Structure 1
Amino acid sequence: MKPYPLLFQPELKERVWGGRALEQFGLELPEGPIGEAWAIGDHPNGTTKVINGSLKGLGLDEVREQYGQKFFGSKGFSEKNGRFPLLIKLLDCQDDLSVQVHPNDTYQGLPSGELGKTEMWYILDAKPGAKIIYGMNDGVTREQLAQAISENRIMDTLNEITVETGDSFYIPSGTVHALGAGVLVAEIQQNSDSTYRLYDYNRLGLDGKPRDLHIEDSLNVIAYSNSGATFMKTNLESSNQWLTLAQSPFFITEKGKVEQSWKLQTTPESFIIHVICDGSGTIEWGDGEQQSVKPGECYLIPANLGEYTLTGSMTVLRSYLP
């Protein structure tokens, strides 16, 4: 089986805070507010299927079972559950997301086989004045947060940041956070669907009922002193160089600008994921084989592909395992 860059059919998720902005990437959205496109996923709540090349029609779980060691690399499996270790999403936030926090891998409240969730956001687009919640104010303790929740003034304890296109946010487990209305985001995260809600603006869910909150779990998993969260502007001064956006025990994510042919190479240790942020171009490999790429597409580059080349004029993210 010759390796090649894998493109998947995204799993689309209706969310109360979603909209229709993902249509700009050529996705055919079902009716309703679509908030998430799971672009590369191997999870019980969403498994993506290959839509290009000789593996077309296979789910990522089937690719893992048949070619995992070669395609994913020696590090390319979760030690906890054996699945593909990352989940790649595109998020369309037309309304504010709930104020939330994610557990780490060792939290005892996790369902059997589920991972914790460390993630990062790259802002693909932001309306003027768009904001996110990113951590708590300095010095807030568990007791103070619990009291603020009971008195319905949790927002007084939270740190709010105005965002722009190109901003990058690293969000380790234990970081309180929430995307605000008016942002389009690429998210690289552990392969997990574990979210604990602290506050949801007294909003009704898609079923017309208040959405569940998870106050005790949230208070248990928050990193009150220092979660390790960092954020940065990501302006690139030159092409064909990588700028590190996030470096965690679970993934490394970098940003690069393609303006001329850029020769790259995989290693036997890890697959590579490329998210096409803007522009257009090609991925070339092997004996002249190539794949045209466009914004919003997310490619899984097998660990055993070897040399490949990015061409065109585009901004790309690169993620791989440390």
Structure 2
Amino acid sequence: MTKPYPLKFQPEFKERVWGGRALEQFGLEIPEGHIGEGWMIGDHPNGTTKVVNGELAGKGLDEVREALGKEWFGTKGFSEKNGRFPLLIKLLDCNDDLSVQVHPTDEYEGLPKGELGKTEMWYVLDAKPDAKIIYGLKEGVDRAALAKAIEENRIMDELQEVPVQAGDTFYIPAGTVHALCAGVVVAEIQQNSDTTYRIYDYDRPGLDGKPRELHIEDSLNVIAYEGAGASRMKTDNAQPNEWLKLAESPYFIVEKGVVNAPWSLATSNESFVILVVCEGAGSLKWADGSIDFRSGECFLLPANLGEYTLDGSCTVLRSVAP
């Protein structure tokens, strides 16, 4: 029987028209091209990551999930809708502006079969001076006003722009209009979904030279015009070896921890733990071993791992299923 241990995966890299080469700063060997996304932990038809360490090396997350079930992933560690791993963990390099977009809820009738909605959160790993994001509609903008602005090609007049710095965090429930902009690198924790509705894309061609598809009607249908509960916060008040809660949703709880001394922790039988190393370096020790880590690395800790210790000088995000 396989003893539980922290799983590390080979990322699935995605070329995007807005991507660049910034993920190389984490020591990742990325392919040629405009690499916008590193799917670090994924169990989706469009990208399933494979284990690179230990006894399960070479197996996809889907295979591990099917073989080891709730003992490893926890009683809450599965999507109730499609049975897959409930979260998708990404690193994003925004060398250019992303499309203005919105994601549906699980209940939207237009979703592809078996696909989930997409509530997500961002933690800003790096941001150039004057970097910004688009984060919600301006106050009072309803469906009719937005539809008219889209028709008249002045949608940007109806959107809120927010400056960003490293360490900022943004909770983005489904229905929230948003866009990362140039010069930002983020860690993204999201529902296990690959459904995005584009509202506006700056009239630019895609990687194939053709205009990228827009999804105006779907976007207008799923936007939460009265707000979906989006929130943002600065996180520079995080105290050493204490968890600071960044986001809480029906799909994930995400916390930030600053490690500067040995920190004894434990998993529970309810949920796996995902650790994203945001900066610095350190080590992860458990009953049967230890592993060194550095910024940009992500680990899935089985629900039955039990006690573990973080050490070093680093900042990590911890995500669990609520």
Q: Structure 1 length normalisation: TM-score?
A: 0.99
Corresponding residue of 2:312: 312
Residue 96 of structure 1 and its aligned partner are, at CA, apart by 0.0
Deviation per CA, 1:224-282, whole angstroms, max 9, x where unpaired? 00210000000135211000000000000000100000000000000000000001000
Aligned partners of 1:43 and 1:191 also within 8 Å: yes
**Residue 251 (str. 1) matches residue 246 (str. 2):** no
Within 5 A, what are the aligned runs for 1:264-283?
Answer: 264-283=265-284
**Residue 292 (str. 1) matches residue 295 (str. 2):** no
Deviation per CA, 1:41-92, whole angstroms, max 9, x where unpaired? 0000000000011110000000001112111101111010000000000000
**Residue 227 (str. 1) matches residue 228 (str. 2):** yes
Amino acid corresponding to residue 312 of structure 1 in structure 2: G
Amino acid corresponding to residue 241 of structure 1 in structure 2: E
Q: Structure 2 length normalisation: TM-score?
A: 0.99
Residue 7 of structure 1 and its aligned partner are, at CA, apart by 0.3
Within 5 A, what are the aligned runs for 1:154-303?
Answer: 154-287=155-288, 289-303=289-303
Deviation per CA, 1:17-53, whole angstroms, max 9, x where unpaired? 0000111111111111000000000000000000011
Aligned partners of 1:236 and 1:257 also within 8 Å: no
Deviation per CA, 1:152-208, whole angstroms, max 9, x where unpaired? 000000000010000000000000000000000000000000000000000100000
Deviation per CA, 1:268-305, whole angstroms, max 9, x where unpaired? 00000000000100000004x10101100010000000
Within 5 A, what are the aligned runs for 1:74-223?
Answer: 74-223=75-224
State how many pairs are aligned: 321
Aligned partners of 1:236 and 1:256 also within 8 Å: no
2: CA distance, partners of 1:141 / 1:151: 15
What secondary structure is seen at the aligned counterpart in 1 of 2:296?
coil
Amino acid corresponding to residue 260 of structure 1 in structure 2: A
Aligned partners of 1:117 and 1:192 also within 8 Å: yes
Alignment RMSD: 0.6
What secondary structure is seen at the aligned counterpart in 2 of 1:18?
strand
Amino acid corresponding to residue 319 of structure 2 in structure 1: S
Amino acid corresponding to residue 27 of structure 1 in structure 2: L
Residue 214 of structure 1 and its aligned partner are, at CA, apart by 0.1
**Residue 17 (str. 1) matches residue 9 (str. 2):** no
What secondary structure is seen at the aligned counterpart in 2 of 1:64?
helix
Amino acid corresponding to residue 220 of structure 2 in structure 1: L
Corresponding residue of 2:51: 50
Moved segments of 4+, more than 6 Å: none
Aligned partners of 1:102 and 1:175 also within 8 Å: yes
1: CA distance, partners of 2:31 / 2:266: 38
Identity %: 71
2: CA distance, partners of 1:283 / 1:97: 35
Aligned partners of 2:280 and 2:294 also within 8 Å: yes
With over 3 angstroms needed to count, the CA separation of the structure-2 counterparts of 1:237 and 1:205, relative to structure 1, is: closer
2: CA distance, partners of 1:188 / 1:279: 20
What secondary structure is seen at the aligned counterpart in 2 of 1:55?
coil
What secondary structure is seen at the aligned counterpart in 2 of 1:6?
coil
Residue 309 of structure 1 and its aligned partner are, at CA, apart by 0.3
Q: Name the stretch that deviates more: 233-242 or 49-58.
A: 233-242
Q: Name the stretch that deviates more: 62-71 or 184-193.
A: 62-71
Amino acid corresponding to residue 48 of structure 2 in structure 1: T
